[in-house]
Amino acid sequence: MYRDIASELRADILSDKVVPALFAGLTSGLGLLVAQIAFGSFIFSGALAPYSSQGIGLVLFGNFAACLVIALAGGFRGAISGLSPALVLVMALIGSTMDAGGEALFVTTAGALILSAMATGVCCVVIGHFRLSNLVRFIPYPVAGGFVAGIGGAVCLAAMSMMGAEPDWRTIPALLEPAALWKWGPGAAYGIALYLAMKRWRNALILPVSVAIVVGAYHFVLATLDISGEEARAAGLLFKSTADGSLWPALGIADLAHLDWAAMASQIPNMLTLLLIALICVIMNFAGLELAANHELDWDREFRAAGFASLVAGLGGGTVACTVVPASLRSKLLGATTRLTGIVAALVIGGALLLGDGMLELIPIPLVGGILFFAGSGMLDEGLLRSCKRLPWSEYGIIVLIFVVIISFGLFEGVGAGMLATLVFFVVRLSRVDLIESRFTAREHRSNKTRPVPDRAILLTEGEDVHAYQLRGYIFFGSVCPLADHLKKSLSGASRPACLMLDFAAVSGFDYSAVSVLSRFLQTAQAAGVPVVLSAPGEQLKSELERNLPPSVFQELLIEPNADTALERCEETVIETWKADVSTSDKRRELLLAHTADELERYLERQIHFEDLIEELRGWLEPRQYDAGEALAGPDAPGEDLQLLLSGRACAYDSAGSRLYEYGPGDAIWPTAPLDEKEASVVADEPCRTMVLTPAAQHWLDEHEESLAIKLYRYLLTSRHRTGSEAG
């Protein structure tokens, strides 16, 4: 692997990609440097302000390690990595709520961030190593959009707070007063203008060039007003150096003596939140990069790369970082799809670490707030404005809910509220999906069993007493109740069924509530005297019903492996009920005779025609006998001859073992299925006798007995038509 990467880098250095890589890496590195300094300044503000330089070094090293490792080990060439604004907020929360003082405050905060980076790295490596990325990659879009919007709003509020304003719903009028407006207005205006310029022209140089212009103009104004650097830093206009020239390492071995383990233990909930948010950021950035670049990523590999990057960052005394989609996408747009791009960007960050914290003394405080506003504005635009055009109002409402909850209560609460709202929304929508894919009666659709003419007439008149339902999808507590109510109404209505069939072949699963409701319905149906036939319920459903039903009720259940045999069982119930009903037997027999007279006459004519045909063909036919279970046609059949069935019953089955239709006396059994490609074999249900017409005899008839051959083929066509209609 390492040799492949080395040879790939050598080839890229000698190719025409080297110039775009230098340009893209340099501009991306400078942009990241400015943003990471702003993020580090915000994290290590307030009580941690005396350690801001060390904190910035902590962030910069994490960014350097992530950028370098992901550039070398990731699957997307040209990937750029950095600290996400979402992570900044949680890191700032850890720092602001750390219950420690003095030197222990910084050491314990840094230790918590380093341990969180290493824990994130372990989780990512485990996900990638065991190929679990498919289990974590799916986040509902409204939750992701609300998360992005909420983080953007929180970052903008944090920027205002950093610039001296205290944003609150009750202090909105005070924020618009001139004295307060001059504190946060210029930084906010710069951040918004910078975002609009980047969005309009999409040039990576806009950020570093604008920063250079702002810094130069700021110092020019200070010089014009005769304000020295020391005076500006004392007045809170410029950053103060706190690291005595060195940005890294932020912690030494001796500093560990100041670590407050009790204070760190109290931060475990916030550290777990940071871990969770880091995983969400990793997932969202992978998905966003895959979509924007139209490039399919190996998520397991990307998780491993991100995990190793966080581990290296943590072991080296840095914070967690992840892939930055806009900067990585810019590499592709500039033709810098090479690992050199990320390496150059990492070297820019590494160079800043070597230069020390002297450069920080040149950075104006309002510039940091403006950079935070720039990051927050992009997230607000993506999460709130663009989503409004893409989503229906119901799903957009979830985004607004998450945004409001994050701004009002916190990050974790907002994501939790969004997941809950999405779950409720999903359950409501899923409960409206009709579980019944189709419904029919035995008069509309019959089983593939061939029945005598009287039985067919009974099903023609009484078939509507069989109610069959083909179910589909996942059956759960939100959808099973409407189904059970519908079935219960059919038991008490005017058209009460003689038998019910429920086909579960297309059901993907069920929960316990569905089993419980279904069990209660089965007991109700049995009490009402209506037999229920379950088709293809599956072993799990059968075992669940056995545990939830009384033994007497479960033993009365009729269970069949497929819809055809289940429908056959329902037909038998109707036929037996009709024959057992003697109260109106005379009237029913008269009605049956009226329905069957014509069909009986046609059946007798067909049998006479068949017997005459057998007599005429006797010189070319050979008798054959089969035992029950023996194959008449198909892979296990003895030959490839056309057979005319004299007695017995046989069934045609497809490759899955489902019955297609049934053969009876007078039917022709083909060696193959020219009109029905699904037919795999024909098996005798009982002892059968056939007359066989060999291919040689058939060929002789075609040449010498043309009229007899035509008579045979005409009969075969009507026989095939009859068999197909019986199946329907």
Strand partners, 503: 470, 535
**Same domain as 561, residue 678:** no
d(CA 672, CA 675): 9
Give the pLDDT score at 728.
39
Confidence of residue 674 (pLDDT cuts 50, 70, 90): very low
| Contact in structure between 277 and 320 (CB atoms under 8 Å) | no
Are 420 and 448 in a shared domain?
no
pLDDT: is 178 or 400 the higher one?
400
More confident residue, 276 or 139: 276
Region of 442 on the Ramachandran plot (φ > 0 left; ψ -120 to 50 alpha; else beta): alpha
Q: In terms of domains, do 131 and 225 share one?
A: yes
Residues of 106-143 as b/e, b for ≥16 C-beta within 10 angstroms?
bbbbbbbbbbbbbbbbebbbebbeeeebeeebebbebb
Residues 448 and 498 in one domain: yes
Mean pLDDT check: name the lowest of 185-199, 372-386, 597-611: 597-611
Q: What is the domain-level CATH number for residue 695? A: 2.60.120.10
Decide: 701 and 669 in contact? Cβ < 8 Å.
no
Q: How far apart are CA 416 and CA 620, in angstroms?
A: 81
Given 367, 397, 424, the domain boundary residue is 424
Is 588 within a domain?
Answer: no
- Whether residue 705 lies inside any domain: the answer is yes
DSSP per residue over 399-450, as a string?
HHHHHHHHHHT-HHHHHHHHHHHHHHHHHHHHHTS-SEEEEEETTTS--S--
**Whole-angstrom distance, CA of residue 566 vs CA of residue 466:** 11
Q: Are residues 504 and 537 in the same domain?
A: yes
- At residue 597's C-alpha, the angle toward residues 592 and 603, to 5°, is 120
Query: Mean pLDDT for the chain?
Result: 84
Is the domain of 672 the same as that of 570? no
Percent of the chain exceeding pLDDT 90 equals 24
Asked if residue 474 and residue 377 are part of one domain, the reply reads no
Q: Which among 398, 424, 450 is the end of a domain? A: 424
Q: Which two tokens stand for residue 313?
A: 């960052």
**Phi/psi-derived region of residue 500, left when phi > 0, alpha when psi is between -120 and 50, beta in every other case:** beta
- pLDDT bin (cut points 50, 70, 90) of residue 723 is very low
C-alpha count within 13 angstroms, C-beta hemisphere, residue 179: 2
What pLDDT score was predicted for residue 596?
Answer: 62
Specify the pTM.
Answer: 0.63
- Indicate if 290 and 386 belong to the same structural domain: yes
- Look-up: residue for tokens 């960007």? 345
Domain limits for position 132: 2-242+258-424
| pLDDT score of 55 more than 60 | yes
- Per-residue burial over 522-540, b if 16 or more Cβ lie within 10 Å, else e, is bebbbeeebbbbbbbbeee
240 or 405: whose pLDDT is higher?
Answer: 405
Structure confidence at residue 455 (pLDDT) = 78
pLDDT at 719: 65
Per residue in 305-346, pLDDT (tens digit) is 999 999 999 999 899 988 888 788 778 767 788 999 999 999
Q: What pLDDT band is residue 171 in, cutting at 50, 70 and 90?
A: low
| pLDDT tens sequence across 417-434 | 888 888 888 777 777 778
Q: What is the CATH number of the domain that holds 451?
A: 3.30.750.24
In a domain, 275, yes or no: yes
For 386, the enclosing helix (H) or strand (E) is: helix 386-390
Strands 466-475 and 622-626: unpaired
The most confident of the ranges 104-118, 324-338, 400-414 is 104-118
Phi-psi region of 250 (alpha: psi -120 to 50; beta: other; left: phi over 0): alpha
Tally of structural domains, the chain: 3
Last residue of a domain, one of 534, 551, 581: 581
Are 516 and 607 in the same domain?
A: no
Quick one: 537 and 620 in the same domain? Answer: no
Q: Does residue 429 lie within any of the structural domains? A: no
Per-residue pLDDT, 291 = 63
Same domain, 544 and 416: no
Beta-carbon contacts of 202 under 8 Å, excluding residues fewer than 6 positions away, are 330, 333
Q: If you search the block for the tokens 């690291």, which residue do you land on?
A: 243
Q: Determine the average pLDDT of the residues in 670-691.
A: 74
In a domain, residue 248? The reply is no
361 found inside a domain = yes
Q: Which two tokens stand for residue 430?
A: 């899923």
In this prediction, what percent of the chain has a pLDDT beyond 70?
91
How many angstroms separate the CA atoms of 459 and 574, rounded? 7
Determine, yes or no, domain membership for 182.
yes
> In terms of Cα–Cα distance, which of 132, 166, 151, 3 is closest to 83?
151
- State the Cα–Cα distance between residues 352 and 263, nearest whole angstrom: 32
The whole-number pLDDT of residue 725 equals 42
Pairing of β 532-535 and β 499-510 = parallel
Residue 248 CB contacts under 8 Å (≥ 6 apart), including other chains: 57, 60, 61, 317, 353
- pLDDT at residue 262 tops 90: yes
Among 535, 514, 503, smallest CA distance to 436 is for 503
**Where is 222: in which H helix or E strand?**
helix 206-224
At 505-521, the pLDDT tens digits run: 999 888 888 899 999 99
- The reply to whether 161 and 192 lie within a common domain is yes
- The answer to whether residue 353 sits within a structural domain is yes
